[in-house]
Amino acid sequence: MNKLDESVMVLKGIGSSKAKRLSRLGINTIRDLIHYYPKRYKDKRLITNIKEVSPAGYFNIKGIISNKAEVLKSKRGILITKFIVSDETGSLVVIFYNNRFAKDMFKPGDTVIFSGRTSLINNRITMECPEYEKAVSNSINTLRIVPEYGLTEGLSQKEIRKVVYSALEYTDNTIEEIFPADFRKAFKLAEINFTIRNIHFPEDEKNLQMAQRRLKFQEVFFLQSYMIKLRGNSVDEEKGIEFNASKEVTGLVKKLPYKLTGAQERVLEEVLFDMTRPIAMNRLIQGDVGSGKTVIAFLALINCVKSGYQGVMMAPTEILAAQHFDTIKNYINIIEENISIALVTGSLKMSYRKEIQEEISKGNIKIVIGTHALLNEELEFHNLGLVITDEQHRFGVRQRAMLKSKASNPDMLVMSATPIPRTLSLVLYGDLDISVIDELPPNRKKIETYYIGSDKRERLFNFVKKLINEGRQAYIVCPLVEESEKLELISAKEYCEKIKKSYFKGYNIGLIYGKMKNEEKEKIMEEFYNGHIHIIVSTTVIEVGINVPNATIMIIENAERFGLAQLHQLRGRVGRGSHQSYCILISDSNSKSVKDRLRFMTKTNDGFLIAKKDLELRGSGEILGTKQHGMPEFKLIDISKDHDIIKASKEAVDLLYKKKKIKDVQYHKMEKYLDDEFAKITDEIALN
């Protein structure tokens, strides 16, 4: 057995009790332990003369214990143990509270290093409850850059440092290096054993930076490699279809009822150019809500059909699929083309679905719009040339690959209305070329956004009634569905009942939440779309929903519970028609950071600016959700700051897959490692 896969209990001093505590931190094996990286570091190399120590600071001092422990109790019954510590320049007091063992920790004459905060007590500089260690030559707790780890009850920093150090001694520089020497040199990566030693116990700042760079690079590199493997092909350019109708499509643009924005024209040009090339397109179109991604998808489908192939577009919900179907059918009528189109969803009657499937398999239907029902094994295409997925973040990479597998290397276009900063896109979509529609149509009105306290709710609801009486509709979003004693938040169910009986008596109110059956959600959203429901009270399930031009106000209760990007997505449910729209954020939080965040929302409607701010505030881990399905977890990389490492990793992934042509033992070893890790992940996905 590889040493890394052995239980932590092989290490001296770790019995079943300590092993259980480590397990609470997710540490069960030696591998877990050496990859349990410090959260921060304290530089304890600098020893300050006691004479230079001042109150209200953090210091490392080295001194001799001058007295026997002085033990006393305070008026409140707190046990206090005092020592006097001296060096050649002066002395100070060290105090421990409620520690019955403290009196025996030191004896007069012991040389001890103390690290801690100072204060002025009874007119003397005092260090309270410091970290300490008797002066030794090779300490792991003092006189060095000292790691600090995330802890659990029953484990101290000293204990976890000790077990990590033991694990490093146990592995004794035997961790296998997977990156070839020339690969490491090209991307400035430290050797793995050096890296693991210095991420825990760095000899100096330079070594720590080298270790951090290697591990950050590795995190992004592995995730990007897994994404490519999940897609089922390499980054090498694959032979694809040479679509030949781009000039005709460009001509049809003139027939559209409006002029494309500059950003739309640029992205359309990129898509059509990709489709003309003899290699398979793999492109992501990012565009804020309302930026006009659907028309680009439509024109790509027309290019596909006019080149003699079928095109398919998959959406996450039946309502969204039906909306796309209606929009694209309408565009086909506008450009006066005779192109057959069909909608495939799970709710179709079996007899009708079979009839549609047969027509698709014969090639009689040229454009197919649908939901996950498109992944059905029985559905076959005659000559599928283009695959489009909408709202990309709602589909797994495997679903993308499943749809793509219904053809012989079709072009792939994925769309997302969730703005993502460039660096995060490189991580999430390292296998795709990226196009950005960063301009809204000129006729779109800015959604007026306000941040208020709950004391103004009645005034707000009067405004909502005014809008409804004028023929408009409203969304109200609550973070919870049922009452929670721990979280004093408004429950969607209780909230709905309350406003039905009070503020909005006589108005039609619908309720939507996550645990509802899809058919129920779809039915309520359809009634809302048709204008039969005035107000939808909902949890965030309407974050990706249908286009209801008549809905002009979005109210978000307990807005502090949502990230900026999520608030922006919710706001994007309104502002889709010709009427002025509003988004009202309600929060009574006194937190300065919350207030600043919500005020930021009122100042901009730019989704990419909001996404950048959200990334800075929340970090990449929460946004990426890399813990899902066993995907590699980001422990060190900071996507908002580590741009150079992300870029280098993308270059490295490209290099690796091109190196397949080179018979290099070390490169094959790296590939095998990635294949093995990928197999573990896919096994875990299958189990879940």
**How far apart are the C-alpha atoms of 528 and 510, rounded to whole Å?**
8
Residue of 265, 278, 376, 370 whose CA lies nearest to 324: 370
Do residues 102 and 130 lie in contact, with contact meaning Cβ atoms separated by under 8 Å?
no
What is the structure's pLDDT at 682? 56
- Inter-axis angle of helices 205-231 and 665-687, to 10 degrees? 70
DSSP alpha helices (H): ranges in 27-89? Answer: 30-34
509-512 sheet: strands from edge to edge:
448-452, 582-586, 551-556, 473-477, 535-538, 509-512
Token reading at 251: 């001509």
Tokens read off for 545 = 């929903």
Residue 601 pLDDT > 90, yes or no? yes
Q: What is the pTM of this model?
A: 0.64
pLDDT in the model for residue 630? 44
What confidence score (pLDDT) does residue 271 get?
Answer: 96
pLDDT reading at 256 higher than 80: yes
pLDDT at residue 464 greater than cutoff 90? yes
Q: How far apart are CA 179 and CA 225, in angstroms?
A: 14
Quickly tell me which residue has 């480590």 as its tokens: 22
Question: What's the pLDDT at 529?
Answer: 85
Separation CA 19–CA 16 (nearest Å) = 5
**pLDDT tens-digit profile of 103-138?**
999 999 999 999 999 999 999 999 999 989 888 767
Q: What is the SS3 assignment for 573-640?
A: CCCCCCCCCEEEEECCCCCHHHHHHHHHHHHCCCHHHHHHHHHHHHCHHHHHCCCHHHCCCCCCCCCC
pLDDT at 213: 96
The alpha carbon of residue 209 and the mean position of all alpha carbons in its chain are separated, in whole angstroms, by 25
Q: How confident is the model at residue 215 (pLDDT cuts 50, 70, 90)?
A: very high
Least confident of 255-269, 406-420, 664-678: 664-678
**Are 107 and 126 within 8 A, CB to CB?**
no
Phi, psi of 549 (to 5 degrees): -60, -25
Q: Which residues of 131-146 are buried (b: 16+ CB within 10 A; e: fewer)?
A: bbbeeeeeebbbbbbb
Mean pLDDT of the chain: 85
- What confidence tier does 532 reach under pLDDT thresholds 50, 70, 90? very high
Round to whole Å and give the CA distance between 425 and 180. Answer: 27
- For the record, the structure tokens of 282 come out as 């793999």
Q: What's the 3-state SS for 280-321?
A: CCEEEEEECCCCCHHHHHHHHHHHHHHCCCEEEEECCCHHHH
Token couple for 661: 């042509």
**Residue 20 reports pLDDT greater than 60:** yes
CB 125 within 8 A of CB 145: no
Q: For CA atoms 412, 413, 419, 422, give the dihedral sign.
A: positive
Q: What is the reported pLDDT for 509?
A: 94
What is the band of 486 on the pLDDT scale with cuts at 50, 70, 90? Answer: very low
Confidence of residue 398 (pLDDT cuts 50, 70, 90): low
d(CA 541, CA 532): 20
HSE-CB of 374 using CA atoms within 13 angstroms: 34
- The rounded distance, in Å, linking the Cα atoms of 83 and 106 is 9
| Contact call for residues 148 and 168 (beta carbons, < 8 A) | no
What does the DSSP 8-state code read for residue 480?
Answer: B
Give CA–CA dist 31/102, Å, rounded: 35
Q: How many CB atoms lie within 10 A of CB 513?
A: 20
Strand positions, DSSP E, 478-526: 509-512
The tokens describing 596, both together, are 């600043």
Residues 6+ apart with CB under 8 A from 371: 314, 315, 316, 317, 318, 321, 344, 345, 346
pLDDT band at 490 (very low <50, low <70, confident <90, very high): low
Query: What is residue 687's predicted lDDT score, i.e. its pLDDT?
Result: 44
Burial of 79 (0-12, 13-18, 19+ CB in 10 A): middle
Which is nearest to 411 in space by CA: 300, 302, 496? Answer: 300
pLDDT at 451 over 80: yes
pLDDT of 206 higher than 80:
yes
3-state class (DSSP) for residue 658: helix
Report the pLDDT averaged over residues 567-588: 90
CA trace torsion 65, 66, 67, 72 (10° rounding):
-70
Instruction: Supply the pLDDT for residue 424.
Output: 64
pLDDT 10s digits, 47-78: 999 999 999 899 999 999 999 999 999 989 99
User: What is the rounded distance in angstroms from the CA atom of residue 441 to the CA atom of residue 447?
Assistant: 14
* 234 Cβ contact list (under 8 Å, min separation 6): 228, 657, 660
| Alpha-carbon span 364 to 367, nearest angstrom | 9
pLDDT at 685: 46
Query: Closest by alpha carbon to 231, among 401, 433, 432?
Result: 401
User: Distance of CA 680 to CAs 25, 228, 421, 687, Å?
Assistant: 21, 16, 30, 11
112: amino acid identity, one letter:
V
